[in-house]
């Protein structure tokens, strides 16, 4: 491969990595959105549970109040009727019913008080949860804005890189380009590895002397025997590492 072809291949890889970064970001979007929405959803659900608890407590409170009023009215009625009783059997029957109504009244009052306590507890919790929901919504909105900004920036870079690929592709031999595309499709980044200290910079495999010479001469494309990445030689890189 000529120096021009090598530089075109490296330039294409740099652009492709930008394209892949956007593709990776897009694939992760559902997960990222879910991570933003999950905490917010939990607080919303908690608020709904507290609201449901408050509504239930209010309904049950009213129910037991109504039952207690009805029970007391029945007690007063029986008490009035008892005054006109003339025999012992009827008197005892009325007395038993009145005792039963007294016990029921105590039970209704106890149940009503329990629901009042639950109602008061829900009333206390609701503003606290509402405030937490407000904070969670604010935080989620900030994170969504950050995600949208990152997506827009990566999209801008992606679109610019897409437009710059064509000139580099035109300078790369078809066989090399075909192999490069297969590596790209497999997602084996980097697709092109610069040889450093006699080894593939992608996987670290040390090339035999003869293969190293072939890479250096650049007469044909050479891939790494271990990872399959395209191997290229750049004199400036060898000077950096003192090869």
Q: To which residue do tokens 């790369």 refer?
A: 172
What's the gap between Cα 204 and its chain centre? 36
CB atoms within 10 A of CB 125: 17
CA angle 128, 132, 138 (to 5 degrees): 150
Between β-strands 222-223 and 192-194, what pairing exists: parallel, antiparallel or unpaired? unpaired
| Rounded distance between C-alpha atoms, residue 196 and residue 173, angstroms | 24
Supply the pTM of this predicted model.
Answer: 0.71
| Rounded distance between C-alpha atoms, residue 127 and residue 136, angstroms | 14
Q: What are phi and psi of 129, to 5 degrees?
A: -65, -40
Q: What is the pLDDT of residue 241?
A: 46
Q: What is the pLDDT of residue 83?
A: 80
Q: What is the pLDDT of residue 243?
A: 46
User: Percent of the chain at pLDDT above 90?
Assistant: 82
Tokens of 32: 């990222």
Q: What is the pLDDT of residue 90?
A: 84
Q: What is the pLDDT of residue 113?
A: 96
Query: Residue 6 in contact with residue 110, Cβ under 8 Å?
Result: no
Q: What is the pLDDT of residue 79?
A: 87
CATH of 18-166 among 2.60.260.20, 3.40.50.2300, 1.10.287.1490, 3.40.50.20: 1.10.287.1490
Low-confidence stretches of the chain (pLDDT beneath 70): 237-243
Q: What is the pLDDT of residue 118?
A: 96
Secondary-structure percent of the chain, ordered helix, strand, coil, rounded to 5? 80, 5, 15
Ramachandran sector of residue 187 (left: φ over 0; alpha: ψ -120 to 50; beta: rest): left
Q: In the chain, which residues fall in CATH 1.10.287.1490?
A: 18-166
- Using a CB cutoff of 8 Å and minimum separation of 24, what contacts does 75-79 make? 75/101, 75/102, 75/105
């Amino acid at each position: 491969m000529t120096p021009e072809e090598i530089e075109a291949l490296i330039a294409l890889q740099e652009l492709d990595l930008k394209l892949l970064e956007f593709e990776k970001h897009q694939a992760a979007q559902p997960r990222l959105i879910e991570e933003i929405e999950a905490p917010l959803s939990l607080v919303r659900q908690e608020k709904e549970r507290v609201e449901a608890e408050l509504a239930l407590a209010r309904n049950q409170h009213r129910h037991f109040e109504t039952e207690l009023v009805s029970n007391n009215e029945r007690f007063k009625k029986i008490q009035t009727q008892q005054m006109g009783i003339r025999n012992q059997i009827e008197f005892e029957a009325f007395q038993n019913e009145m005792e039963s109504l007294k016990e029921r009244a105590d039970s209704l009052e106890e149940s009503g008080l329990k629901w009042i306590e639950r109602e008061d507890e829900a009333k206390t919790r609701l503003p606290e949860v509402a405030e937490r929901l407000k904070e969670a919504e604010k935080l989620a909105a900030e994170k969504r804005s950050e995600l949208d900004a990152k997506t827009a920036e990566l999209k801008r870079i992606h679109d610019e890189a897409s437009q710059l690929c064509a000139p580099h592709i035109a300078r790369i031999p078809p066989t090399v380009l075909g192999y490069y595309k297969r590596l790209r499709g497999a997602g084996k980044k980097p697709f092109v590895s610069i040889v450093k200290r006699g080894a593939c910079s992608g996987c670290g495999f040390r090339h035999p002397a003869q293969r190293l010479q072939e890479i250096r001469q650049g007469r044909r494309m050479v891939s790494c025997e271990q990872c399959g990445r395209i191997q290229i030689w750049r004199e400036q890189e060898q000077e950096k590492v003192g090869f």
